[in-house]
Amino acid sequence: MISFDIIILLILSYLTGAFPSAVWYGRTFYNVDVREYGSGNAGATNTFRVLGKNAGIPVLFMDVFKGWLSVNYIFLINSSNVFSPELLFENQLAFGIAAVIGHLFPIYTGFRGGKGIATMLGLLIGLQPYAAFFSLIIFVIIFFIFRYVSLASMIASIAFPFFVMIILSSTNEPLNLFAIFVPILSLITHQKNIERLIRKEETKVKFGKK
């Protein structure tokens, strides 16, 4: 049975993930709502596209932090190791997923959110830092070669289950199932980006911009 504490932390994780980093940063420092420009998406990728790296990088870090923080909410009630390792992991995964859902459908901004990739990265760092680190390396390599945040995000997400199940030989079934889900979510949320990449209309990040 799910305890009251877990329910509260699930809600808190959703509200944390729902914090509209891109919208808040754009409005506060640029007087721009990024949802009205570019792809219309309220995430780090569109922030890079619309406002440049000086805005995109802080938003990216905030979105990653939301996922990492939510995963670690469990330690607010597990300071005395009241959960088994398996139950601890499952609760962390649930909190992280709640944060990603919050980012995708934020209550603060009419449920118009981002793609959830950066917040998911934070979740992955909290759950499986080694695989997340390897995937991040893939992201950086692809990003600096092609300068497409969307392409780098998709390839890094596809690499994640490979690192989890092949390189690290994970026997954690919930983690393995979630690892398979990661690239599926990435490809679904990046459908429009894929179409623009095929048409060669996707906007590249310009490192010297703003």
Is residue 1's pLDDT more than 60?
no
Q: How far apart are CA 79 and CA 88, in angstroms?
A: 11
Q: How far apart are CA 14 and CA 19, in angstroms?
A: 9
Query: Two tokens at 138?
Result: 């893939």
Q: Please report where in the chains the tokens 């209309």 appear, as a residue.
A: 201
Q: In the chain, what are the domain boundaries?
A: 4-198
Whole-prediction pTM value?
Answer: 0.89
Is residue 162's pLDDT more than 70?
yes
Q: What are phi and psi of 87, to 5 degrees?
A: -70, -35
Q: Which whole number is the average pLDDT over 133-151?
A: 92
pLDDT at 36: 93
Is residue 21's pLDDT more than 60?
yes
Per-residue pLDDT band at 205 (split at 50, 70, 90): confident
DSSP summary character for residue 37: S
| Three-class secondary structure of residue 110 per DSSP | coil
How many angstroms separate the Cα of 130 from the Cα of each of 9, 95, 163?
26, 20, 9
Per-residue pLDDT band at 210 (split at 50, 70, 90): very low
Is residue 160's pLDDT more than 80?
yes
Return the closest-CA partner of residue 121 out of 81, 162, 69. 69
Percent helix, percent strand, percent coil in the chain, to nearest 5: 75, 0, 25
User: pLDDT tens across 67-81, in order?
Assistant: 999 999 999 987 667
